[in-house]
Structures are given as structure tokens and as C-alpha cells.
Amino acid sequence: MVAQESTDKKGGWNQVVTAQEQVFFPSGSVLFKEGEKAAGAYLIVTGEVTTSMEAPTKGTLSLGTVQPPAYIALVDSLAGDRYSCTTRAVRDTKGFFIPREVLVDCMADHEKNLTLLQALANEVSASYHELRTVRDKFGGRSVTRKRIS
Amino acid sequence: MKSPYGFDIQENCVTCPFRESREFCNVAPGVLQQLQGIKFTSVYPAGTLLYIEGQAPRGVFILCNGRAKVSTSSKQGKVIILKVAQQGEVLGLEATLGNRAYEETAELLDSCQVNFIPSKQLLRYLTENSEATLKAAAQLTNDCRSAQEGIRCIGLSGTVEEKLARLLLAWVTNAHEHHKDEKRFKVPYKHEEIAQMIGSTRETVTRILGALKKKKVIEIKGATLIVKDSDLLKKLAGE
């Protein structure tokens, strides 16, 4: 899952990724696979990645494309969980890998915690967006409320 | 103090007897004192809309007791129930932190005490208390998981029967109500609402529940759902 970051928060996320490992993924390579242990999150700075979920019986469900700057897998990493989706670079992509331990430390840091919380909130928002899209694509036909926004 | 809805109003978070069982409120006494200073307590009847999708964020709502239905709607106007929030959960956190319009509608299912924290005070409270930050992160994680489960249920389940069977299994597993070999669950939802949870229609849910009764997989007595054949239900759910 993905948290799209607005550019005005650049200063904020720079605080979190200071001194973290820079990573490069050539087009077509996989950043992480669904079900692998979430060792950390990624901040995508340039390039483009896609996310997808898989089910043995129904194949792959494409969730969308991520434009930088964006955090990926913050929720999975902070929860100490497994990655909930597969992420693949569709163009040459550069970013930072932020290990789970660093994320947890940042949560206890008064100067960085709000930045991370806001990135988490963005990831939740992105999940809601994906859910709404999937509902229109796969769900039944009942229409009961007019969307306001 | 007694409310007109039959429960005691907990005006003071510090002396609240339930705080240890409520995730967001289970913090150190000093932090809790700070929370007490920034929250506003209200009591609302069932059916109250705390906020609606598209509204500008004002702050968060802590559900002190009772339940709330949290739903969102797609571009085509299809309603999706994200979750039924339980006591102790924080509502509207994602919109308040992201400073964007609420993406869900929160409707109280029971008469509830709700503590409201305005945006500005919440941000200061979270910045100053790392313990509170972790609680907020846990709430956001749960919200994200609810959405992911919804995506899996709607986008990656084979048939509506499979989705419904999964939902019924999840209910009876979490309810822990067993009578002899039967698993029971009191269903507080209408067929329309069940349809909104699994991305289907009211008619389809009614039809499939009827078919499951006919096959003697389940039995419905009033609002109570009894699973008669859990092996077959698991098979239908693809487990």
C-alpha cells in the first residue's frame, strides 16, 4: 500500500530518511513480494512503481501506479507484519529503504513522529481510494448514496 | 453521572474505569491528564452522524462506548462498509492528520458517549507524547488493514457465496459464542448492510442466505445466526 506525499512535505520526509540506504530498481524489477516479512518501508523519489495483490484462485489484482514522492509499505513495516502487496518498478526507480527499527525510533522522536503519522494517514487514504476503485470494478450494482467528494 | 440512554457518562478520562481496555486511552497518567484537558465529552443517540464523507476535518472522535458504522462510497455511488468501530476506537484520524476532507461517514449504531478532540489540540498532543503517537499509529494500521481486507474480499474472492461465507465465518470465530457443537452470532446488520460489506446487493445476500439455510449450513433464529455445518461453510469460503 502506498502513501502519496505532497512536495510541500519534502522537508518532513527528508528528516526521516537522513542517512538511510539509497536504493535503485531497474524497470521490471520487484521491490518486494506480498507475504514476505516486512523488513522496512521505501520512500520512492524518482521513477514509477505499481502495486498488486494476489490470490491463488483468482490471479492478480492490480491496485495502481505510484508516482513519487511516496512512501510504500509503512503500515506493514510499522506493524511488523508481512508485505500486503507486491510492488514492481515500471520505470527505473530510485529511493530510500528505511528499516523497520528506524521507523519505530522515528515514532518516538518528537520532531519526526508527526511526519510519519501523516505519511501513515496518507497510506490509509490511498487504501480507501483503492477499495473504492475495486468496488466499482468488481462489486454488485446497488446504488444507495450519491458521492459528495 | 447517568445518561438518559442508560449508561454512566465518564467525564474524567483519568478516573474512567474502562481506560485500560481502550487502546487509545491506555497511556501513562501524565499523558492521560493531557488528553483529559483537550477532549470534549458528548452523548448522542443511535443514528447520529458524527461526520460525513466530504466534510472538512474538525478533529477526531473517540468512541467511549457503543459501536459506529464507518462507510465510504465509490465514484459510482456504491456504499462500502469499511468496519463497525467498537468502543475505544478513534474515528476521523486519517482525515485530521492528513488535513483533508473526511473520506468516510461515521454513524452511531448505539447510543454512545463520544469524546471529541479538535485538530489543533490533537496534533500538539501527538507531537508531545510518543506513547500517544504509537497509539495513533496502531489505529491507522487497523484502518488500513480494514481497507485491505475489503479490497481482498471484493477484488480477490471468487463468488458472492464465497465472500458471504468468509464474512459469516469471521463473525462466528470472533464472537466466541458456542452452544454444544454449534457456533452462534447475533447479527446486528440488515441484508443491505451485509451486502455493503462484501460489495454485493441486498437481493443476492438474501438469496444466498436462503440457499445456505436450505442446505442446512446455517440457521437463523431472529437476529441469531447459528452455524450448523462449519466444515461446509469453510469449504464454501475456500479455506
Question: How close, in Å, is residue A32 to chain B by CA atoms?
Answer: 17
Contact flag B73-A121 (C-beta cutoff 8 Å)? no
Q: A49 vs chain B: nearest CA distance in angstroms?
A: 19
Q: Which residues of B touch A9 (CB under 8 A)?
A: none
Among the listed residues A40, A133, A90, A131, the one whose alpha carbon sits nearest the alpha carbon of residue B147: A131
The pLDDT, as a whole number, for residue B75 is 85
- Do B80 and A123 lie within an 8 Å CB cutoff? no
Residue B157 has pLDDT above 80, yes or no: no
What is d(CA B84, CA A144) in angstroms, rounded to the nearest whole number?
19
Q: Is B140 on the interface with A (CB under 8 A)?
A: yes
Fold entry, domain A2-135: Jelly Rolls (2.60.120)
Same domain for B106 and B25?
yes
| Mean pLDDT computed over B84-113 | 94
Q: How many domains does chain B have?
A: 2
| CATH number for the domain that contains residue B84 | 2.60.120.10
Range of the domain at B137: 19-153
Same domain for B57 and B110, yes or no, is yes
C-alpha cell at B23: 487502546
| Confidence (pLDDT) at A5 | 53
For B128, which residue in chain A has the nearest alpha carbon?
A110
Residues B105-114 pLDDT 10s: 999 999 999 9
Task: Give chain A positions within 8 Å (CB) of B133.
Answer: 107-108, 113-114, 117
Q: Which of B92, B121, B153 is the last residue of a domain?
A: B153
* A37 Cβ neighbours under 8 A, 6+ residues apart: A82, A83
Q: For residue B220, what is the domain's CATH number?
A: 1.10.10.10
Beta carbons of A127 and A135 less than 8 angstroms apart: no
What's the pLDDT at A73? 93
Do B189 and B219 fall within a single domain? yes
Residue B136 shares a structural domain with residue B74: yes
Domain closes at, from B153, B172, B193? B153
Separation in Å, CA of B179 to nearest CA in chain A: 34
> Strand ranges (DSSP E) for A29-92?
30-32, 40-46, 49-55, 59-66, 70-72, 86-89
Q: What is the pLDDT of residue B119?
A: 96
**What average pLDDT is seen over chain A?**
82
Q: What is the mean pLDDT of chain B?
A: 89
ipTM summary value: 0.83
Question: What are the tens digits of pLDDT across the range B168-215?
Answer: 888 887 766 666 667 888 888 889 989 988 888 899 999 999 999 999
What CA–CA distance (Å, rounded) separates A80 from A82? 7
Question: Does residue A106 contact residue A116 with C-beta atoms inside 8 Å?
Answer: yes
User: In this predicted structure, what is the pLDDT of residue A14?
Assistant: 60
Segment B75-97 shows an average pLDDT of 92
Mutate: best of B151, B152, B193, B201, partner A, most A CBs <10 A? B151
